[in-house]
């Protein structure tokens, strides 16, 4: 059976819905993408999402994607999505394997959306840390793998160098920005683990600081095969 979209770490299938609405611009061939031809993958304990997905008309599958056999069984599809997913896998080696599997199996587009773990002092978390702040997600137990843009590009380069016959365009661009300290995703460095938004009990924030150059909160890394 033909598959249009495979979404890794799907939860409610929001990445599929967003791509069906806005992502067609990245297709190299005009395709009619149908919900029934889209499948979301979740970990075995994510069975709770099945009914939500099926009500949207999507397929739903469970798999342990920190497992070589399960990764080898991932199917071909026009598009592969891994949005806010790679940071959840156990370590960098598994994230690398999933990037490579996405490239191997995608016919037109492999799209990775990454929360920013960049530590630079230009548009990365380093700017916040200079003011005693950090992003909420950089101290979550559910994020064992701080997967960066550079990690993603290194994995893409590894695979494409071994497949020189596949011509592609690489697109790297911001997906989300933080413009000032009032953003609830900015918290003091000493905030406890697994806090997902700021509360005054975690300490003061320098709210007068605004960023002349916004801090990048998430990145898009898109491989568009020609």
What is the value of pTM for the model shown? 0.96
Domains recognised in the chain with CATH numbers: 5-177+217-225 (3.40.50.150)
Q: 219 forms bridges with which residues in the sheet?
A: 114, 174
pLDDT for position 32 = 87
Residue 70, C-beta contacts closer than 8 angstroms, at least 6 positions apart: 63, 64
pLDDT for position 29 = 78
Q: What is the pLDDT of residues 36-78, one digit of tens each?
A: 999 999 999 999 999 999 999 999 999 999 999 999 999 999 9
Residue 24 binned pLDDT confidence (cut-offs 50, 70, 90): confident
Sign of CA dihedral 135, 47, 82, 175: negative
Cβ pair 75, 130 in contact under 8 A:
no
For residue 61, give both structure tokens.
Answer: 């599958």
Least Cα distance to 115 among 164, 188, 72, 176 occurs for 176
Total residues found in the chain within this entry: 226
- Concatenate the DSSP letters of all residues of 166-185 into one string: --EEEEEEEEEEEEETT-TT
pLDDT for position 30 = 73
Residue 31 binned pLDDT confidence (cut-offs 50, 70, 90): confident
Classified as helix, coil or strand, 165 is coil
Whole-number Å distance between alpha carbons of 210 and 185: 15
Cβ pair 105, 75 in contact under 8 A:
yes
Residue 16, C-beta contacts closer than 8 angstroms, at least 6 positions apart: 5, 7, 10, 35, 38, 40, 56, 58, 81
Q: What is the pLDDT of residues 173-212, one digit of tens each?
A: 999 999 999 999 999 999 999 999 999 999 999 999 999 9
For residue 126, give both structure tokens.
Answer: 């380093």
Least Cα distance to 186 among 152, 150, 210 occurs for 210
* Arithmetic mean of pLDDT over the chain: 96
Question: Mean pLDDT, to the nearest integer, of 141-155?
Answer: 98
């Amino acid at each position: 059976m033909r598959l249009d979209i495979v979404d890794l770490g799907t939860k409610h299938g929001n990445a599929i819905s967003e791509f069906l609405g806005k992502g067609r611009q990245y297709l190299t061939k005009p395709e009619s993408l149908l919900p029934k031809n889209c499948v979301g993958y979740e970990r075995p304990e994510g069975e709770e999402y099945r009914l939500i997905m099926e009500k949207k008309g999507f397929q739903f599958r469970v798999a342990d994607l920190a497992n070589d056999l399960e990764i080898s069984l991932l199917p071909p599809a026009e598009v592969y999505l891994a949005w806010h997913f790679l940071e959840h896998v156990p370590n960098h080696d598994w994230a690398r394997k999933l990037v490579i599997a996405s490239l191997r199996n995608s016919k037109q587009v492999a799209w990775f959306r990454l929360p920013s773990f960049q530590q630079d002092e230009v548009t990365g978390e380093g700017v916040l840390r200079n003011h005693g702040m950090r992003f909420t997600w950089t101290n979550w137990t559910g994020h064992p793998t701080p997967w960066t843009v550079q990690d993603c590009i290194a994995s893409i380069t590894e695979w494409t160098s071994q497949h020189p016959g596949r011509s592609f365009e690489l697109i790297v661009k911001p997906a989300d920005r933080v413009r000032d300290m009032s953003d609830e995703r900015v918290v003091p460095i000493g905030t406890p683990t697994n806090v997902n938004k700021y509360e005054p009990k975690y300490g003061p924030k320098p709210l007068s600081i605004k960023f002349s150059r916004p801090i990048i909160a998430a990145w898009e890394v898109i491989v568009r095969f020609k």
